[in-house]
Structure 1
């Protein structure tokens, strides 16, 4: 007999149906309450999305300035002479964990570049000849004006890529199989011409040949004279601290390492400012949404006292009444949260399009926006739910 009189348990589907009933019976109020939450979440999502899109564009521009580019070069010995980097310097630097890219150039001594073999030796035009690693162009963010860059095949043969200033001085505008220069007392085929390289201007007035070819045809000794490295932004300072000892463990004092770009410090400061702004705006948006949910649910309890009394009279327990209003609060918050995230994405996409940016809305913002609204909804709906559950059936039915 006791089992027959015990209240039926509410399944999750029943909880959703009962919780949604309160929203369906007052659609305009539910819509306005959800809209208030959605606007707050949309504002937060849009601010984060627009800031992230702007920051991505800023990062792209700053990356072009070489914010994470460090260079290693030989310094001077204790006696004032010119030091040398070991031939293994590049391989050793590449083993540093945060280093993402590494490439080197090595100056070829005694090799000059001429348009023909009839020009006097003294008229070298100040053009330097460098042996170059295949990854050099990518590491220093160089671009080709014409032709191709060195590859595994051409790096072993008399092929050369000219810097922008070098090509101008030699009067060469188009590379090709028939375009040759007299380099190191032999003919080299011009296979490419570089655009000016802002991050490595020394390459503009240089002629670049493959590392193996420099050793085979120009008697290059294999010692790098400049090593270019790119590291994870957050690890640039740490990498800089170990570069000298890694490049030349026997004489780190004979190694010169460039300091990080000021643009990297500016970007880090900008990121910190953005983070503080987003946290503040998100907190305000969630607070406003929580107040809206709490206000809606308190009013709902006051207006539905008769319904609560009737449900209690029909056998609903206090826990079931509490669960009903808590589910209603969560549904209201979820609708507002999802709608706000979608609206925020739309605003971000539209604004990014007007600025010619790529639209970037972090996943954590979308997931966090919905999750935060559910937490706020549960918190805001808890007091009204407890209040509704405490109403005695007779008191609720007697209410006007």
Structure 2
């Protein structure tokens, strides 16, 4: 502190020292006040974060509803039953096209990861360079671009004529074409899968599902059986209309092989009821956390008010103790005061909450949904919060000695 001609001036250091001394003189009160600020800021951050998280979860749930792919595969050992033909034939897309809700379907046979032949863009093998690529190789019916939601980037996809003639043609995924250095199709480039040559007639890409086919060589099923040993259908992928996936999943085994329906494994997206329940559980859980945080903030507020009341009523406490009031009487008085504050807060809060919900629903033209059990329990919850918040201030008040309290007054 410095004295000047104009009076006394407090320096910055003195101001900081005085502030710290005042805070440290009442550490519990300062801690409760700080805790209120901490919880308030935390609630703000949590509210924004949980709102964003809830929005992301809801979007994710609805993304599940738009997942319209149904995948049918043989169960383990199903194709190895003696005396029976293949469980799934290459006519599977035609069979599934008759089902209501089918948009497109493709039957696939893929080379096992350990037996995939090397793919080269020319017949010359130069030991000094790496010309062969480890790409996926698959046989597929003509509906692959539609069923996997891809698009033809260049050229065309092979057709039924290419399949029936056993043509040595291939369609490359866009990543496979990039790795092999094939960018143009006007000069009829060829690729070698192992030692078998295939003429590239198209490039397909932008797959919205099954992105692995972007790095694959796709050939007609007849040619694959002749040249590459890919014979049996490994799986069928069906693109369905929105909401039809469950129906297709139930009917597909019968459509494919009515006598062996138990030998299929069908993977389908979750149903509407399941997704709706999951969304409701996510939202309820998120906002329950927000509600509990708000209760904690309210409890800290009651504790601060009660503690300030104890500090301001030291004289009254001392007088009551001097007249014969026991410690438990003082503690009970402050606990009851906190409980009354909590009860009033619970009643007013429940009423304000109901009015707010109804008001927002009227403004948005929504149908209000209120949990009457929660509204009825709100006053009791307020009393519980008040008792918990008032426990420490009541304990502080009960510890005061009469003589010390009267002196402090």
Same fold (TM over 0.5): no
In terms of Rg, which structure is larger? 2
TM, length-normalised to structure 1: 0.43
